């Protein structure tokens, strides 16, 4: 069964195309990750799927309901935890849940039952009558995740579920998400710009960059597709003599020339560094630095988009600073 | 999605009431300003010859309905504008993504805002009694309640409509200073409208609060500028228009 189906989905804001002609499906019971830097269009995609934004073009269904023509059915079948907390801090945890339950049309009996269940599930039964303003960041997150599940949705969306949480709380939150997925059988779609989060949590990951999906597969298949470790050699002068020699080596899976030198994909990179240095020496090429990266989703992102997630984000951050300076 | 979802409206109403009752400081804060106005104006101008004041009506008697109207104007408008603070803390998204119509959301806000504004106005009315205010007849109190309710609905709707035009709460102070205070001064709450210059008087006639204050004066003090039916009709009309405007404009607010 398909939980989410997206076909040719596009959303623009004026001249900016935030989501560009996306197509993919998410199966029932999956934990599906959208991995990419801030500003890649992940949140816009989620907001279209949860009916807060209308698609500019294309279609999408959640639990079989069209997000544009069957808004009410879509809203009934999804839960969402937004990137920014969306709790009433003056109400207690139980009151926030009761508010939610009423908006989703749950009668009194169902409401009290489910609220007790959820508070137990997210471990907030003892704090149920405390104002949410007194909760820690991790407790608020848990309450929101619980609230997202209160009306038993088919799909739970989590927009950057662990941003702003410390390392420990992040791990706890991962555990909760996995438990919810297992115990409530709910399909989970999450966005993240944390590599470890995507690797640790997700059954499948879509690598999102600049409003497009660069690749989509299991974390293991994505890293395996790289064919080994990535050794980045920065060299002085021309790389021609070095790449000629690389062509002759059977153990080189793949190489690409970059501005600074060459990126070589090999198996067991740590054992091949010496060989690479010797080759460069023989070719009369001076190496200025060597960098070895194990294949993980970070290197997948790098090889797909030509930059790391961090570079993409700081790049975005630097632009406005530059315009400040120009003024 | 039904156009009106009673349980959803109730959820929103209950949230507003819970928040209101939970913060006694907010209740005190909300009635402090009208109460101070009432006390100082009543004592400061007691015995002064205020032009246009009806024959035989003491200034305190004249002022109390005005200050009740003032309380309603502020309480209700702020309740409508509180959509902006919900937006700022992110809670609005939780409401907008729920399977209830925008109309239900506006109705819920109006129900909650009217209730809290009504409590504030009744507190002012009660506190005015030790100051010397005497309602002309207790039988008129239910009718006063009708007027209060219509004023509340009008101005919560007005607040919702205004809030829909801002993307953050920065415009809030501007609204208070350039919209809500003028509405107050143009309502005949603290002096008869007849003292205002001609063109300004015309503006006052377009102000729903003018009819609200006049109606309250009719039922609480027994004196009014316009017939009771005119006051009631004007307020009914403004309620319908403001609720429609608030709903219409809020429907068009983009959620993110």
For residue A131, list its beta bridge partners: A92
Is B1 a member of any domain? no
- pLDDT at B67 exceeding the cut of 60: yes
Q: Could you tell me if B143 and B220 are in contact, meaning their C-beta atoms sit under 8 angstroms apart?
A: no
- pLDDT at A152 exceeding the cut of 80: yes
- pLDDT at A321 exceeding the cut of 50: no
Q: What is the pLDDT of residue B221?
A: 87
Is B232 a member of any domain? yes
- The domain total for chain B is 1
Q: Could you tell me if A50 and A78 are in contact, meaning their C-beta atoms sit under 8 angstroms apart?
A: yes
Is B48 a member of any domain? no
Structural domain for B71, as ranges: 6-43+55-251
* A43/A139 same-domain check: yes
**Dihedral of the alpha carbons of A145, A147, A149, A152, in degrees to the nearest 10:** -170
Run of H or E including A65: strand A65-66
Q: What is the pLDDT of residue A326?
A: 32
- The domain total for chain A is 2
Q: Could you tell me if A19 and A10 are in contact, meaning their C-beta atoms sit under 8 angstroms apart?
A: yes
Instruction: Summarize pLDDT for A276-310 with one digit per residue, the tens.
Output: 888 888 888 888 888 888 778 887 887 777 777 77
> How many angstroms away from the CA of A255 is the closest CA of chain B?
44
Prediction ipTM score: 0.89
* A123/A254 same-domain check: no
Cβ separation A52–B96 shorter than 8 A: yes
Q: Listing from the earlier edge strand, what are the strands of the sheet with A187-192?
A: A78-81, A155-159, A187-192, A31-35, A204-209, A212-217
d(CA B191, CA B37): 13
* A31/A167 same-domain check: yes
Cβ separation B255–A105 shorter than 8 A: no
Q: What is the pLDDT of residue A81?
A: 93
Is A302 a member of any domain? no
Place of tokens 């809290």: B116
Q: What is the pLDDT of residue A64?
A: 93
Q: Could you tell me if B28 and B61 are in contact, meaning their C-beta atoms sit under 8 angstroms apart?
A: no
Cβ separation A105–B99 shorter than 8 A: yes
Is A300 a member of any domain? no
Cβ separation A104–B89 shorter than 8 A: no
Is B63 a member of any domain? yes
d(CA B113, CA B77): 8
Is B50 a member of any domain? no
Size of chain B in residues = 256
Q: Looking at residue A137, which CATH number applies to its domain?
A: 3.40.50.300
Is A26 a member of any domain? yes
Q: Could you tell me if A303 and A268 are in contact, meaning their C-beta atoms sit under 8 angstroms apart?
A: no
User: A179 in contact with B at a CB cutoff of 8 Å?
Assistant: no
Which range is most confident: A201-205, A293-297, B219-223?
A201-205
Q: Could you tell me if A151 and A79 are in contact, meaning their C-beta atoms sit under 8 angstroms apart?
A: yes
d(CA A43, CA A36): 11
- CA dihedral sign, ordered B40, B43, B48, B50: positive
Is A320 a member of any domain? no
Banded model confidence at residue B245, pLDDT cuts 50, 70, 90: very high
Is A301 a member of any domain? no
Cβ separation B93–A52 shorter than 8 A: yes
Cβ separation B97–A95 shorter than 8 A: no
Place of tokens 């960041």: A137
* A213/A258 same-domain check: no
User: A80 in contact with B at a CB cutoff of 8 Å?
Assistant: yes
* A196/A287 same-domain check: no
**Dihedral of the alpha carbons of A170, A172, A177, A182, in degrees to the nearest 10:** 150
- pLDDT at A323 exceeding the cut of 50: no
Considering only CB atoms, which chain A residues are within 8 Å of B27? none
What is the rounded average pLDDT of the residues A213-224?
Answer: 87
Place of tokens 């067991």: A268
Structural domain for A104, as ranges: 2-218
User: A105 in contact with B at a CB cutoff of 8 Å?
Assistant: yes
User: A133 in contact with B at a CB cutoff of 8 Å?
Assistant: no
Considering only CB atoms, which chain A residues are within 8 Å of B90? 82, 84-86
User: A82 in contact with B at a CB cutoff of 8 Å?
Assistant: yes
Alpha helices (runs of H) in chain A, residue ranges in sequence order:
42-49, 71-76, 93-103, 108-121, 137-150, 167-183, 195-201, 219-224, 240-248, 269-282, 297-305, 309-326
- pLDDT at B96 exceeding the cut of 60: yes
Name the residue facing B18 among A50, A75, A91 (closest C-beta): A91
Q: What is the pLDDT of residue B255?
A: 66
Burial of residue A59, with CB atoms counted within 10 A of its CB: 0-12 exposed, 13-18 middle, 19 or more buried = middle
* A183/A277 same-domain check: no
Cα within 13 Å of Cα(B68), Cβ side: 35
- pLDDT at B16 exceeding the cut of 50: yes
Size of the A and B interface in Cβ pairs below 8 Å: 73
Given A183, A198, A218, the domain boundary residue is A218
Is B256 a member of any domain? no
Place of tokens 């400040």: A324
Banded model confidence at residue A315, pLDDT cuts 50, 70, 90: low
Cβ separation A90–B22 shorter than 8 A: yes
Q: What are phi and psi of A263, to 5 degrees?
A: -110, 120
Q: What is the pLDDT of residue B256?
A: 64
d(CA B128, CA B33): 14
* A196/A247 same-domain check: no
- Mean pLDDT across chain A: 87
Name the residue facing B19 among A90, A98, A102 (closest C-beta): A90
Q: Which of A97, A99, A101 to mutate to test the interface with B (most CBs of B within 10 A)?
A: A99
> How many angstroms away from the CA of A194 is the closest CA of chain B?
23
Q: What is the pLDDT of residue A254?
A: 82
* A201/A271 same-domain check: no
* A88/A143 same-domain check: yes
Is B168 a member of any domain? yes
Which of A297, A292, A295 is closest to A277 using CA atoms? Answer: A292
Q: Between the CA of residue B138 and those of A34, B38, B147, B212, B226, what are the distances in Å? A: 66, 21, 15, 19, 21
> How many angstroms away from the CA of A80 is the closest CA of chain B?
8
Is A311 a member of any domain? no
Stretch among A116-120, A148-152, A208-212, A317-321 having the lowest mean pLDDT? A317-321
Is A310 a member of any domain? no
Residues 6+ apart with CB under 8 A from A82: A144, A159, B90, B93, B94
Tokens of A37: 């830097």
* A72/A100 same-domain check: yes
């Amino acid at each position: 069964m398909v939980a989410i189906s997206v076909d040719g989905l596009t959303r623009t804001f004026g001249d900016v195309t935030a989501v560009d002609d996306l197509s993919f499906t998410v199966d029932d019971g999956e934990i599906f990750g959208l991995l990419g830097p801030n500003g890649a269009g992940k949140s816009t995609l989620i907001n279209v799927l949860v009916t807060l934004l209308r698609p500019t073009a294309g279609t999408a269904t959640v639990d079989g309901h069209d997000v544009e023509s069957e808004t009410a059915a879509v809203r009934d079948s999804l839960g969402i935890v937004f990137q920014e907390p969306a709790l009433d801090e003056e109400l207690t945890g139980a009151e926030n849940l009761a508010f939610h339950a009423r908006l989703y049309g749950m009668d009194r009996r169902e409401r009290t039952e489910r609220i007790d269940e959820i508070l137990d599930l997210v471990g907030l039964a003892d704090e149920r009558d405390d104002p949410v303003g007194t909760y820690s960041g991790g407790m608020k997150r848990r309450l929101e995740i619980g609230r997202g599940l209160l009306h038993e949705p088919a799909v739970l969306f989590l927009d950057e579920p662990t941003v702003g949480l410390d390392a420990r709380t992040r791990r706890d939150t991962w555990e909760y998400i996995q438990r919810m997925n297992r115990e409530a059988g709910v399909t989970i779609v999450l966005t993240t710009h944390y590599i470890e989060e995507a690797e640790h949590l997700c059954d499948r990951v879509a690598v999102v960059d600049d409003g497009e999906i660069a690749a989509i597969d299991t974390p293991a298949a994505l890293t395996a597709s790289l064919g080994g470790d990535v050794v980045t050699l920065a060299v002085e002068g021309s790389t021609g003599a070095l790449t000629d020699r690389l062509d002759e080596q059977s153990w080189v899976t793949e190489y690409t020339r970059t501005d600074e030198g060459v990126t070589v994909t090999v198996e067991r990179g740590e054992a091949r560094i010496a060989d690479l240095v010797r080759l460069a020496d023989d070719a009369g090429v001076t190496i200025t630095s060597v960098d070895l990266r194990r294949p993980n989703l970070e290197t997948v992102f790098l090889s797909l988009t030509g930059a790391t997630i961090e570079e993409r984000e700081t790049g975005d951050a630097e632009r406005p600073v530059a315009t400040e300076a120009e003024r | 999605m039904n156009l009106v979802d009673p349980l959803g409206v109730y959820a929103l109403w209950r949230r507003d009431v819970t928040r209101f009752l939970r913060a006694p400081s907010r209740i005190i804060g909300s009635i402090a300003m009208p109460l101070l106005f009432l006390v100082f104006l009543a004592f400061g101008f007691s015995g002064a010859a205020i032009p246009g004041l009806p024959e035989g009506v003491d200034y305190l008697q004249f002022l109390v309905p005005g200050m009740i109207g003032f309380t309603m104007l502020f309480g209700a408008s702020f309740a409508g504008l509180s959509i902006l603070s919900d937006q700022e803390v992110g809670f609005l998204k939780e409401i907008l993504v729920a399977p209830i119509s925008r109309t239900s959301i506006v109705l819920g806000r109006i129900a909650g805002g009217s209730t809290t504004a009504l409590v504030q106005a009744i507190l002012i009315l009660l506190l005015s009694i030790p100051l010397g205010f005497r309602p002309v007849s207790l039988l008129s109190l239910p009718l006063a309640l009708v007027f209060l309710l219509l004023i509340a609905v009008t101005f919560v709707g007005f607040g919702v409509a205004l809030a829909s035009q801002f993307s953050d709460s920065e415009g809030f102070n501007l609204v208070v200073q350039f919209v809500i205070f003028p509405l107050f001064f143009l309502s005949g709450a603290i002096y008869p409208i007849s003292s205002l210059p001609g063109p300004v008087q015309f503006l006052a006639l377009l102000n729903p609060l003018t009819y609200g204050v006049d109606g309250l004066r009719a039922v609480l003090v027994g004196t009014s500028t316009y017939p009771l039916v005119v006051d009631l009709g004007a307020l009914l009309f403004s309620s319908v228009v403001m609720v429609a405007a608030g709903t219409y404009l809020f429907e068009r607010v983009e959620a993110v």
